[in-house]
Each structure stands twice: as C-alpha cells, then as structure tokens.
Structure 1
C-alpha cells in the first residue's frame, strides 16, 4: 500500500485504516524474515556438521567401499545445502551475496571432439541504426555426454561494436542448471540416470569416465548431483499436488539402511511409495524417504487428502482411516497367508482358499481392458458370488480349527479385514490388490545391493525425488535419459506457470 504524501488530508478513520494496514505489512515482512533466518540457521548448522565430518577422522569400523560411498553422500549433501543457502540469500529482501571461491578446473582433454556453437546478436545493426563490427569473441567450453561418447561444446560468443556510438553487443550464454559449470544437461542426465536408475555409485562412474579419457573427481560429480536435486524439487512438488488430486492411491513402505554422518552403524529408515492405480488416467508414483515407519509420515504426505487408500494391514495407516481415508484391502496379502500355509504343510484348507481366490483373479484379468462401468458389472455378476461363497467357507472352517493354529491365523487375517478386502467389488475404479505399488518399489531393493545404505536423511530424500521422476518417466513410456536431458535443458528458463509441461505425463519428446 502506497502511503499518501499529505497525511493531513486523511480523515481519522482513514488514518486508522492506514496504520492497521502498515502494521500488517510490517508483521508479514517480519514473519517472512524470521522464517528465512530460521531456515538459514538450520541449513548453516547442517552444513557445518557435514563439513566437519567430511574433513574429520573416518570411522575405523567402516570398510573402504563404505567410506567411499559415504564420501559421495557428504559431498552431494554439502553441494545441495550450499545451493539452498544461495537461493535463500537471493530471495531475501536485502540479499548479501557471499563470495564463493572458484574451484580450480583442469582444462578439458584436447583430444576430445569439439562441436562449435555460435551465439551472435539477432541483428547486425545497433539500436542507433549503424551496422555492428565484430571485434572479438569469448569461448566457453562445456563437457557433454551421449551414452558412451564424450565431446566438448565450444560456445563462441562474438563481440560486436557499433562504430558510431561504440556500443558493445554480445549474445548471452544459454541458461544452465549449473551456472558457469562445465557439464551440459546431457552429462548431468547421464550421471543421474546411472546413479538412480542403474544404481552405479559415483566412484564407479568416476572410473568409467576415466577410462573414456575424462577425469572427473567424485567430489565434482557429487556437487552436480546435489545441485540437480535442488533444482528438480519444484517438479516433485507439482507432481505431489497432482497425485493428491486422485481419488484412489496405492501406498507401501520398505526398510532402507541409513547411516547418519558421524555414526558407526546404520539404522533402519523407510522408503514410502504412493502411486496411482492401473485404471487411473495419471500414471505416477512418488517416493518419500523418512527416518522411521511412524504413521505420521504417511499423514504428513497425504495431508488433507481423504480418498481411498489401497494398502496392506500396517497399523501406521489406521489413524488416517479414522480421519476419513477409506481403507481398501489387498487380496494378494490374504492369499499369501494361505500360500505360506500350503507350502509349509500341504494344507487342504489352504489349497481350497487359493483356488477360490484364483477365480477372483481370473475375473480381474478378463476385466483389465474394460471400462470402469463394465468392470463393475462383471464383478457384480461373477466376482461377488465367488467372494460371498469364500466368506461363508472361511466362517465355516474357522469354527473347526483350534485357536492359535497356523490355519486359524490365516483365516483370521481375511475374516477380520473382510470389509476392506471386498470394497473393490463396489467400485470399478478400484484394484483388487496392492501389487502395483509393490512392483514400483522393487527398484529400491535392487539399489540396496549396490549402494548398501543411504548416507543421510537428505541423501535419501534426494534419491526419492529423482527416482520418482525417473520411474514416472518409465510409467509414461519415456526413456529416462532423454526425459531428464530435455528437462534439465528447459528448466532454467521454464516459466512457473508452464512447469506442468515438464511433468512426465505431459512431456513430449523434442522433434
């Protein structure tokens, strides 16, 4: 609100209104400043701990491979925090840029092929009307990578001067994810895909690049990964908002070992996965990394969402169900109880249950290509009678087996959850089980064999974000490298209002 130049012309009511408005603006600015200071202090403290760990004594209980992996994590976290602090400083009302020491960079190998890219002014004439005269040029070299091949992009920006008014004109460098860095979007995409899709730790990538004739230190690769993780975060936020607009979601979680810097052993952290159903128009999955398995993590992710959640019987979701989320059970989990029983003792009861549940799955296979309405009619006419017969059969056999027996436990699992297990029969948009998200969480099981543990909460969250984009690209039929390369090229200049164009389900491969 602009303050009038002559306050004496205002009435008492106008003066009071002006005073209230100004006080409100001051309070809002103070609140924003306090929040910025708190975030700054938190990040600065976290950065100090990481640097102390990076340059301090390594734990003697870690082997060489574990130390190598942990060093990658620490370097990556430091780069991410420094990037967030830099963004926070630039966004503050009175930015005070801190001088950053430029790293000593080795020249790129001369034997690598060069591609020259010229950047010249759009017009050969100055604003005053005179023709420009070229007086020199600036050359910036960036390292690019296409799978298996390095080459160098030479960005040549000519210097043009107007003879009449002596105005110097030079085309700007295209915006980059890493300002003034040497990697192109293609090289960054390769590092991210290799690390998070192919599960190659940075020390292995360093060795691969060295064999190709380019020595890139792990600390540099880690810095690139940390900065990319921060820059890609707006896409994850937009994807999160879209996911929570869906009426039905899958959810599951899996343990991941996490080693906090300074600790001598790992403890169990958890990766949560939330995905749309096979019948949804939106094909998406988001991974969320947390330090524990508390149901509060799921509630924090879901927020005010009150849809239908397909999940197992983990108690952490119970509070969400009490708050208005509808539980959809997983028939596959119920079937596994009887499979385990049959494998252990060739139980005839288990065999009969498996056969009846198999009939329900046969109907679902036939219903895969149908519309929701057609699927609902098929379930009403064919699946519901089988489910009712299965329920009566379970009740009858439960009375015949002793409490505490393995057969009783298998029957009780289904009987106690019967309402949730059969809700899919009432809605053609619901799946019969939670297998979709369980399949989407499998890449993390493969990754655990390669990177052994998550080095920190921040590194786990960064991995979850980048792997969300990679997996969403796959779900929508895109090759992850092509998708990330284009996104990293366009993201620096993409308008916030057009960010949705870069989401995997909207992205179009460049012609």
Structure 2
C-alpha cells in the first residue's frame, strides 16, 4: 500500500501533507545514500578478499608478502567495521580459536558492583549467585599484564531477576585488548615504524601470542575510530591564516604486479607564530598533482609557505598568498659554496645569516613587537640583499651554479620578502620539513604502504601523533586516554579529544 497516496485521498491539511511528503523524500534520500555506501563497501570488501587470497599475492616474497598481508588484513577489518556501522545492528560474531591469556601474567582486578544492592523492581535485597569474568590484555613498556574485570551477579528471589554492573562500551566491543595495548601497538607501528610482524615477535618474547592478523584487525578498527578526529584536525587547521606545506614521496604496493609505484604524503602545518596549539595534518595521495593541495585547502584563503614546486602555482592564482622559504634559497648557495668555495656564495650566506639572527632576536616577542623589529632591521637587510643579488646577477657567468642560485632567489623575491611586512608570517618552511623528517626516516623500515586505504589511515594517525608531539604530549598516553573516552564521547565534544594541551584532563 502506498501510504502517501492514501494520505493524499484523505482530508488531511495540505500544509501538513506537504511536510509529510518532504520528510518522506528526505528519508528516502538518506536510505538511498546508505544503500549506495553499503554497496560500495561490499564491492571494496570483495576486491580486498580477492587480492588477499588470490594469486596476485603469490608474486610477493619474504618481508614484502608479510607487509602486504598485514595491510590487506587491516583494510579488511576497517571495511567490515564501516559496513557494520551502516547495516542494521546485529550481534558481532564471536571469533573462534582465541588463545587464553597467559596465566603467569599479573592480574589487576576491577570489581564492578551494581549501584544498589536492592532489587530495582521490588526493593528486596539482592543475593550474589555468581560472577561474570572477562579479561583484557594491557601493556606498559616492556611489561604485559592483564586487567581482570569481575562483575558480581545478584539475584532477587521474589522477582527471579538477575542484576549486574553494565559492561562499559569500548572501541573494540568484547575484544581482548585494553586501551593501553592498542595505543602501544599504534605507537610501535606509526611512531617507531615497526611492521606488525615485528610487534608480534616482541610480544612472543614475553610469551604473549599476538597474531599478525589480530594486530591488523585492531589497527584497522583504530583507524576507523580515529578518522573523525583527524578530519576535525584538518578543519581546525584551515581556520589558521598562515600554513606551511610540503610533500614527500612514498612507495605504494601494486599487488597485481608485485612491484611498487610512487605516492605522496602531503603535509600541512599551522604557522609557527600563530596563536593556539600547533597542528600538523598529513594527506595521503597517489600523485604529486597540485590538484590535491587545492582539494585539501578547499576555499581557504591565507598565506601559504611552500617551496618552488610548480604544482602550487595554480593554487596561488585562485586566492592564497604565496610565501617563499629563505632556507631553500640559502641551501642553493650553501651547495655552491660547499662544491667550489665560491666567495659570492659565501657573501650570500653571510647576508642570509644576518636575517636569521634578527629572527632569533624576535623569537620571544609578540607579533606587534616582532613586526617593529622586522621593519627596523630585517627590511633594510632585505633591500640590501636584493640590490646585491641584482648586481651579482650581471657579474657572474650565465649558467653557472652561482648564477642559478642568484636567479632562483630573484625569481622568488616578492614571496620571499613578504614575511617582513608582518609579525606573524614565518621566514622559512623548516617547521613542516621537521615534521616530515621522522616519516622520511621511517620509510627505510616500512619500505612501502600496502594500499591507498592504508596510506590514508597512516596519514590520519600520523597527523594525530605528530600534533600530540608538537603540543608536548606523549602520543601513546594521549591515544590510550582518547580510546578510553571515545566510545562514550558525544560528537559535540570531539574537540576535547584532540591532541592539544590538557585534552586528557577534559
């Protein structure tokens, strides 16, 4: 029966009927969107299962295959988690074959008593008839231990009812890992750059069996849980007036060929002189096309500090104001001086050093005071440097290394001197390069990302960890606190979970 047609044939008020029809259309659109997402995730899940268990994986050998399998297993767990969030609620299937936690591990017992010892229905005294005991594995650095949760069960004889404390929600409902263990695994993988099979070996040395497939499932579910925090971090970043941007190449596995191809981790950092807690956000993309920067920044209009990569040029044509990095200018003269001992390059380095010395003087000043300092000292130094570069350009041999360094500085000059007209703009792009450096070093360990989804997950978790470090927080401790609060935290309080100072106390 068509309910809307039936309502139309009644004497219902036309305005009310219009409201009902609009509400019905809205609900239909939401259902269609949900069905589309479920279909897309189902197809993606089928694809990853084919990749994981198909012949393509046989082309990989040794550590390559181990890394590939853990990535796909993690992706599978993440997709299943997203599907469960879209589909109607149903009991989570129990996983067979879980090994008992080692009995020799120390136990910390937590007793969860009901709020009252009287029956909630008739007021009679409750009688203990048993206990529901569950165990979660937790870890401190180099020490595994077990949380033993004991929930006494009380019965009301007259009502024949049983009362026990509720099981608190968790990121992984009914799972074995405690938040400390999950935070340790994530820190090992994304801060210490350890593949999961190495984490498995670390646990095995203490007699704790943690299968790679289990670790992969946990990482996948953590990634899904933390994605809203990473998205919110990007939103807050785009509220800043000044940003640093840079990108670094990474290798992404192409399972069909057993080889790897280039992908890129784009990094965006808040300005070093901006107010509020510093933020770093990583954005994983499969190419270095400038369109990725435009897509990330959306309609942001501010000052963007970048190198001379051509991919940013179209971005500046649309609104953001370009800032050039003095450290990149200096680096070119440094290379010339190191190679040939050029006196011209030495003079350029001396003049640039004087500008950095002025910045050191203004390090502890507020923006208005720093602006005064820059206008009094840095601006004259920049004017002199520019005049010297123009004179030098006419004197050096065309095509020489010195000439190229001079030409590069002059080409970037309008964007280079812009910082001196403000008390908040940065002099160089070193802050974001320093944030990227640990990941660049870690690439020697993890070799490649196993998929685009794995790259996006790593970028989200790395964003949160790197921001925690910028704000003086222990990333693992912060993550343990967040994973404990996340299941019960409303969306309206998501900012209290971000890795900013005092967030663990909110």
TM-score (norm 2): 0.95
- Indicate if the aligned counterparts of 1:50 and 1:261 stay in contact, CA closer than 8 A: no
Per the alignment, residue 283 of structure 1 pairs with 278
Indicate whether 1:495 and 2:490 are aligned: yes
- Among 13, 22, 46, the alignment partner of 1:24 is 22
Secondary structure at the counterpart of residue 259 of structure 1: strand
The CA deviation at 1:5 is: 8.9
Distance 1:26-1:402 versus aligned 2 partners, 3 A rule? farther
How far apart, CA to CA, are the structure 1 residues paired with 2:256 and 2:425? Answer: 46
Q: Deviations for 1:377-406, whole angstroms, at most 9, x for unmatched residues?
A: 011011111100010111112122343332
Q: CA RMSD in A?
A: 2.1
Per the alignment, residue 369 of structure 1 pairs with 364
- Indicate if the aligned counterparts of 1:341 and 1:407 stay in contact, CA closer than 8 A: yes
Q: Deviations for 1:222-250, whole angstroms, at most 9, x for unmatched residues?
A: 00000000001111111111111111111
Per the alignment, residue 31 of structure 2 pairs with 33
- Among 94, 104, 115, the alignment partner of 2:108 is 115
- Indicate if the aligned counterparts of 2:282 and 2:463 stay in contact, CA closer than 8 A: yes
Per the alignment, residue 92 of structure 1 pairs with none
Indicate whether 1:152 and 2:146 are aligned: yes
How far apart, CA to CA, are the structure 1 residues paired with 2:402 and 2:141? Answer: 54
- Indicate if the aligned counterparts of 1:58 and 1:67 stay in contact, CA closer than 8 A: no
The CA deviation at 1:102 is: 2.6
Instruction: Write the mapping of 1:463-482 to structure 2, written as runs, cut at 5 A.
Output: 463-482=458-477
How far apart, CA to CA, are the structure 2 residues paired with 1:477 and 1:407? Answer: 41
Distance 1:99-1:189 versus aligned 2 partners, 3 A rule? closer
Per the alignment, residue 205 of structure 2 pairs with 211
Indicate whether 1:432 and 2:427 are aligned: yes
Secondary structure at the counterpart of residue 232 of structure 1: helix
Instruction: Write the mapping of 1:347-362 to structure 2, written as runs, cut at 5 A.
Output: 347-362=342-357
Q: Deviations for 1:304-357, whole angstroms, at most 9, x for unmatched residues?
A: 111111111111111221111111111111111111222222222211111111
Q: Deviations for 1:92-135, whole angstroms, at most 9, x for unmatched residues?
A: xxx27487463321111122122221111011111222111111
How far apart, CA to CA, are the structure 2 residues paired with 1:99 and 1:59? Answer: 29
Range with greater deviation from structure 2 (130-139 or 376-385): 130-139
- Indicate if the aligned counterparts of 2:473 and 2:501 stay in contact, CA closer than 8 A: no
Range with greater deviation from structure 2 (209-218 or 345-354): 345-354
How far apart, CA to CA, are the structure 1 residues paired with 2:454 and 2:487? Answer: 23
The CA deviation at 1:290 is: 0.6
Indicate whether 1:135 and 2:133 are aligned: no
Per the alignment, residue 162 of structure 1 pairs with 156
Per the alignment, residue 95 of structure 2 pairs with 102
Distance 1:289-1:405 versus aligned 2 partners, 3 A rule? same
Structure 2 spans left out of the alignment, 5+ residues: none
Indicate whether 1:125 and 2:123 are aligned: no
Per the alignment, residue 50 of structure 1 pairs with 48
Secondary structure at the counterpart of residue 395 of structure 2: coil
- Indicate if the aligned counterparts of 1:500 and 1:506 stay in contact, CA closer than 8 A: no
Per the alignment, residue 390 of structure 1 pairs with 385
How far apart, CA to CA, are the structure 1 residues paired with 2:256 and 2:184? Answer: 31
Secondary structure at the counterpart of residue 190 of structure 1: helix
Q: Deviations for 1:27-72, whole angstroms, at most 9, x for unmatched residues?
A: 3223322322222222222211211122123556533011111111
Q: Deviations for 1:145-196, whole angstroms, at most 9, x for unmatched residues?
A: 1111111112111111222322321111121110111000010001000110
Instruction: Write the mapping of 1:337-348 to structure 2, written as runs, cut at 5 A.
Output: 337-348=332-343
